[in-house]
Structure formats: structure tokens, C-alpha cells
Copies of this chain bind each other. A is one copy, B any other.
Amino acid sequence: MAARRTLGFAVRNYSQAAAKGWLTEDFLDSLREVVGSSNVSTATPVCEQHGHDESMHRCRPPDAVVWPQNVEQVSLLAKACYSRGAPIIPFGTGTGLEGGVSAVKGGVCFNLTQMDQISELNAEDFTVAVEPGVTRKALNSYLRGSGLWFPVDPGADASLCGMAATSASGTNAVRYGTMRQNVLNLQVVLPDGRVLHTAGKSRRPRKSAAGYHLTGLFVGSEGTLGLITQAILRLHGTPEATVAAVCAFPSVQAAVDSTVQVLQTGIPIARIEFLDDVMVAACNRHSGLSYAELPTLFLEFHGTENSVEEQVQATGEIVQSNGGSDFVWAREQEARSQLWAARHNAWYAALALRPGRKGYSTDVCVPISRLPAILLETKKDLLESKLTGPIVGHVGDGNFHCLLIFDPEDAEESRRVAEFSQRLVRRALAMDGTCTGEHGIGLGKRQFLREEVDEVALSTMQQIKVALDPKNLMNPGKVL
């Protein structure tokens, strides 16, 4: 009953926010007082820049953008918003794919990129603290020479705190885990401006059983519970040896069967990425390569020299037994970089297949045993739906993306894309999978979340949201 009453309050507040009674010169002055006039903008182009991410979701600009310099300023700005009822939208690099920064109710966008300190590097404990302005590439540059690195790699050079907010993962997750496994502690500014340390201030033991796991709750909360202003991350030792390879297969089934067998054999593979024939062709064209245009695996092995050789040999036997080609090797750093650049440019390579069109990426994830079936059905569906949708995937985790390239002005094609996406998600759900392995729910998958979890789970999430953000000011309209 309490929850319902609070929810009612939230709904009322929601409509106030839409009415924007809070948007006064006086309110803007209170923001300027905190960060200085030059760090508050209401200019249309600036707001529009902050109203969208890399996805197709329509730009919904905030009413103002602020650039806080430190956690104290974030706290004061949040307090100002809270007291007036202004929505708060956290903004990192804007590289999200589900419309997470879209200001659907207007509000104040907190651009956190100027908070870019890296601190508390502790090489002995493999931990470091980063602010939201630190991207994964910036951190790895900082770590160069230390023998340490941060492996979670979604492709984009995203903010690490943003990656925590969306529970990002990517190519290395099969070996090193997602952000969930690599965040030890978060500093979070709650909507009312209070500063929370999810695991106690600056604490960083490898494990803890002390109280509710707030760190795990905020990882993947997509800015709807608070603003992440610092993350203490778990680092990993740079592997002594790294070898990458490319291998083509006669069929999708053969490539995916190989993946499943590699995992089942317990080979600690660092990366195992699938590209279908269409995707390889697109990469060849876009990156000037000449890989066989067949279902393909990009692989990477990490370890000691001996262990890498052993992994390569065991994987080679599996691949061969499935009719895979000989490996094309990339043993040197430069060759490896070229290989992974091709993989990471898959999105742009896909877009280049139909210049002038837009892209939409699906993101389902299934238990790995179901991968062959879902990939084959999906390829068939793409053909039947007459859609351009090269497939690329972190198949070691059971996660893959169809990069659908289409003309959003073409209503008929857009409908086919929407229907295909829906069928794909339902196919994944029927196989005990999820509608999103790593992009999050954001704006675009709220309906799918309702199909994925039951009413009790949804209402539990809603109760948590209401408890922690009773005025529904934190990134409203997302996730739930």
C-alpha cells in the first residue's frame, strides 16, 4: 500500500516535470552558483547534442546541460534538482545503444566527462579508482607499463562509470567477466544529493558478505537510481603471451559447434567472436581485408607462452574436427590490432553496406547450447524478411547482434525491422535467454523486459526504484 501511495506521488510528480514548472531562471541560477555560468548551458545545439546516444532513438534534448567538476558539485546540483523536481540525466560518452540518455521528460543533463581523475592505483591489489570522465582506453593508456590492464571492452571507447551503469561487457567477457565481476565499489550521488559508497568508502576487498550487495544493484541500473561518480575497478595482469587467429567455417553450425566445444573443453579462451558471411564481407570491404567470406570465428588466447600454445593446439583440433580452415594467425601486436579493429568497426562496416541508411543492433543472449538453433533460425528469418542484418556476436557468452541496416523513413521496412526484432527476442526468451546481453533496457526494450521477467519481478524492481528515487527524477522513463 505504501508503495502504491508513493507510486501515485511519483506519477503526479512526473506530470509536473512534464509541465516543467521547475524550469525557471532562478533554478538555472542555482545551478550556475554551483558550477559557474560557463558550466551550465541551455543552448539548443548543446542540449540536442546531449539528447541522444548512438542508437536510433529520437533525440529528446534536456532543458539544460551542466558540467560538474567534482562529486561535491554533483551532490549540490542534484539537491537543486531534487528540491525543484527537475529530472536528472547522467551523461558519459553518449555511446549507449538503447536511448539511455534521452531526456524524455526534459530535465538537467549531468555531463560528467570533466571529472576524469584516475586515482588509488594499487598494483599489488589489482585495483584502481576512476571518475566518469575516464574511458576504458584512457585507463588502459594510463596502465601501460604497469603490467596491468582492464579487460572489459564493449568496442566503443566508453566511460567506465557509464559501462558500470549499463552493465557493459563485450569481447573479453567470456574470460574476464562483465562489469558485474569487475566493479568492486561505487560512489553514487543519490537523487536527493546524498553521497553513497556502495561497499563503504574506499573499501576494496576481493570479496565481502557485509549487508545487501548495493554495488550489484547499481551496476546495470542505467542511471535510474543515482549518478555514478566514481568506480573502484578490479584490474588484471597483462598476459605474458597473446595470440589471435581467424578461422573460417563451411557453415554457421560448424562455427558455433566449435565455440560450444571450446567452452565445454574448459579452454580459457580470451575472445571468441562470430561473424557471419555477410559481416565478413562487409568488414573486408570496409577495412580493406581479404578474409574468406564464410561464417568465421575471431579468437584470442591469453596466458604463458606454453599455456597459449596448448590452448591453440586444443582449439585447432576442435576447429579441424568441425571442418574449419587453418588459422590465419596474428601473433604480433600490430597484426592483432588490425584484426580487432576490423571486428570493432563491424558497426561502421555494416552501415557502409547501405550508405545513407541507419543501423539498429539487436542484443539477445541465450545459453550457449541454444546458439546453433537460434543463429540458424535468425539467418532464415533475415532472408525471409528481406532485411540486411549482418551478424556478429560474443558467442562464448551466447550473445550476438544483428546489425539491421534500414531506412527509417521507409515505414514498411521499419515495420519489418520491428517485427523481426520482436521475433528474435521471443525466440531467445523461448530458449531461456534474455532480450539484452549487454546493451541494457533503456527506452527500447521496456516491453521486452515485461515479457522476460514476470509481474512479481517487475513489481519488485519498481518497489526498489520507488524506495530509492521516490520522486522519479533519476533518468525517468528508462528500464521500467
Listed stretches A121-129, A290-298, A336-344; interface member: A121-129
A144 at the B interface (CB under 8 A): no
Interface: A197 (CB within 8 A)? yes
Interface residues of A in 360-402 (CB under 8 A from B): 363, 365-369, 397-399
Are A209 and B3 neighbours in the complex by a CB distance under 8 Å? no
Bound-state Cα–Cα, A458 to B463, Å: 18
Residues A209 and B457 in contact in the complex (CB < 8 Å), given A202-B432, A266-B239, A432-B204: no
Q: List CB contacts (< 8 Å) of A431-446 with chain B.
A: 432-441, 445
Are A367 and B127 in contact, CB atoms less than 8 angstroms apart? yes
In the complex, chain B residues whose CB is within 8 Å of the CB of A217: 212-213, 216-217, 464
Q: Which residue of B209, B461, B467 is within 8 Å of A214 (Cβ)?
A: B461
9-residue interface stretch from A31-39, A350-358, A447-455: A447-455
Q: Give complex CA distance A110, B80 in Å.
A: 48
CB distance from A127 to the nearest CB of B (A): 7
In the complex, A201 Cα to B432 Cα: how many Å? 8
Contact (Cβ within 8 A) B440 A122: no
Pick the contact of A479: B5, B195, B211, B439 (CB < 8 A). Answer: B211
Q: Does A208 contact B (CB under 8 A)?
A: yes
> Which of A18-26, A47-55, A134-142, A166-174 lies on the face that meets chain B?
A166-174
Query: DSSP class of A's interface residues: helix, strand, loop or mixed?
Result: loop
A318 interface residue, CB < 8 Å from B? no
> A30 contacts which chain B residues (CB < 8 A)?
none
Query: Does A415 reach chain B (CB closer than 8 Å)?
Result: no
| Nearest-CB residue, chain B, relative to A461 | B212
Q: Report if A76 contacts B (CB, 8 A).
A: no
Docked CA distance A197–B166 (Å): 21
Q: Is A304 an interface residue (CB 8 A)?
A: yes
Q: Please report the C-alpha to C-alpha distance between residue A440 and residue B307 in the assembled complex, in whole angstroms.
A: 37
Q: Is the CB of B307 within 8 A of A434?
A: no
The verdict on A205 contacting B398 (CB below 8 Å), with A210-B435, A212-B220 known, is yes
Question: Which of B9, B208, B365 contacts A437 (CB under 8 A)?
Answer: B208
A437 to chain B, nearest CB (A): 6
Evaluate contact between B365 and A205: CB separation under 8 angstroms. yes
A197 contacts B239, C-beta separation under 8 Å: no
Given A166-B209, A464-B212, also A124-B264 (CB < 8 A): yes
| Complex Cα spacing A452 to B456, Å | 32
Give the chain B neighbours of A411 by CB distance below 8 A. Answer: none
6 tightest CB-CB pairs across the interface, nearest first? Answer: A216-B216, A124-B369, A467-B467, A2-B6, A237-B266, A208-B434
